[in-house]
A and B are shown apart, each in its own frame.
Chain A
Amino acid sequence: MVNGLLRGLERLGAATRKAVTRLGFASRFLIAVLRHTPTAFLRLPLTLREIYFAGVLSLVIIVLSGLFVGMVLGLQGYDILSRYGSSEALGTMVTLSLVRELGPVVAALLFAGRAGSAITAEIGLMKTTDQLQAMEMMAVDPLARVVAPKFWGGVISMPFLAALFSASGVFGGYLVGVQLIGLDSGAFWSNMQAAVDFQLDIVNGIIKSAVFGVIVTWIAVFEGYDTKPTAEGVSAATTRTVVEASLAVLAADFILTVFMFRGV
């Protein structure tokens, strides 16, 4: 009985210690990557290549998802708003929900699944096949050559992707609200323009997406670098990237929202 309790406590302690160690390792890893920022920008083609893989190749999924989310918001929003006789507020509702929340958050979740998993798998496989060690043998720092460009490529891509998501979502809401349901186009846009504030809504949305970009890419490169060098290790690390990044984005979104929009 006492032994069992002790063993349980021991396991809890070990788990806590491991989690804290991992967090510390991840933080030191981030600092090391940030220290290699100059190389990522001095050798710009490397970073551009990563923007291509993380950003350009995510364009289609982001724009299409944004369009569909916007159209669904238009339909559901109209259904609810028309009960209160204020269906002309549809543009406001669609735009505010997209710019403040859905744009940054859903774009970050899609980004974690589309680009984050690819980053982890690539770095993990390079580690498993000893390519990272081979680089070190040739006196090439893998942090500077591989990790830092991937990190900055993701961080730079994310705000653009979120803005695209929001913009195509607003367009989707316009398609449903004005073209399909037949709301007045003037009321749709002017109510939106009266309610959406540049500083409060749009700038805060961009800040959110930048923070999410750092979180997702940081987790992705760290999980890749920390992979157990086996086939299962790579698959486990890829899964962990998507799960951890999604949870971290949602939690960070709550915290940011508390600071940005409380009392407004």
Chain B
Amino acid sequence: MSRATIDVWVGIFVAIGLGAMVFLSLKAGNLLTTSNAPGYRVEAAFDNIGGLKTRAPVKAAGVTVGRVESITLDPVTYQAVATLRIERQYEFTRDTIASILTSGLLGEVYVGLDVGGDEEMLADGHRISKTQSAIVLEKLVGQFMLNQASSLAGETK
């Protein structure tokens, strides 16, 4: 086989190999919209983050506007501090409420943002002051059982 034919075939091979890598990165890994979009960081302190993990989506009205970048424990207040990285094209008011929500009963955990009416906008390094912690299913069930038990006890008296 002549050298030119081999060159052409190797060229085709490398091109479709690179094409497969690009396909995986863009179509499966969604590289363009997740990690490369420029953004700003805000912090939010929660009493309990439940099952929130880093890289979880940050959503406003159901639209993904950013990701959870890191989660740490504040050593003074013993609150969990989540750093949210929000894409630059989205702006939120300073009195935005951040709450930890779950999509469906067993779905992924995400941070939901509810916009308030403040004139001022959140900027890099700001901290969201109004937050709502995750609802821990076990606690809810425990509370429900306790209520049931006490109301039963009230009836029998």
Whether the pair B17, A160 counts as a contact (CB closer than 8 A) is: yes
Expressed in whole angstroms, the minimum distance between the Cβ of B21 and any Cβ of chain A is: 4
| A95 at interface, CB cutoff 8 A | yes
Residues 63-75 of chain A, each 1 if its beta carbon lies under 8 Å from chain B, else 0:
0000000000000
Cβ < 8 Å to B, chain A residues 154-182: 157, 159-161, 163-164, 166-168, 170
| B66 at interface, CB cutoff 8 A | no
Whether the pair B18, A52 counts as a contact (CB closer than 8 A) is: no
Nearest B residue (CB) for A168: B20
By a CB distance below 8 angstroms, the chain B residues around A3 are: none
Contact residue among B6, B20, B30 (Cβ-Cβ distance under 8 Å from A196):
B30
Cβ < 8 Å to A, chain B residues 20-45: 20-21, 23-25, 27-31, 34-35
If over half of A's interface residues share one DSSP class (helix, strand or loop), that class is named, otherwise mixed; here it is helix
Cβ < 8 Å to B, chain A residues 193-208: 193-194, 196-199, 201-202, 206
Whether the pair B10, A51 counts as a contact (CB closer than 8 A) is: yes
Expressed in whole angstroms, the minimum distance between the Cβ of B54 and any Cβ of chain A is: 10
| B14 at interface, CB cutoff 8 A | yes
Cα separation A189 to B30 with both chains bound (whole Å): 10
Contact residue among B10, B23, B106 (Cβ-Cβ distance under 8 Å from A167):
B23
| A224 at interface, CB cutoff 8 A | no
Cα separation A170 to B20 with both chains bound (whole Å): 10
| B16 at interface, CB cutoff 8 A | yes
| B119 at interface, CB cutoff 8 A | no
Count how many pairs of residues, one from A and one from B, have CB atoms less than 8 Å apart in the complex. Answer: 87
| B13 at interface, CB cutoff 8 A | yes
Cα separation A256 to B10 with both chains bound (whole Å): 29
Contact residue among B13, B23, B31 (Cβ-Cβ distance under 8 Å from A160):
B13
Whether the pair A170, B24 counts as a contact (CB closer than 8 A) is: yes
Interface set of A (CB-CB < 8 Å, partner B): 45, 48-49, 51-52, 55-56, 59, 86, 95, 99, 157, 159-161, 163-164, 166-168, 170, 189, 192-194, 196-199, 201-202, 206
Can you spell out 24 A-B residue pairs with CB atoms less than 8 angstroms apart? A45-B6, A48-B3, A48-B6, A55-B10, A55-B13, A55-B17, A86-B106, A159-B17, A160-B20, A163-B17, A163-B21, A163-B24, A166-B20, A170-B24, A189-B27, A193-B27, A196-B28, A196-B30, A197-B34, A198-B25, A198-B30, A198-B34, A198-B35, A202-B25
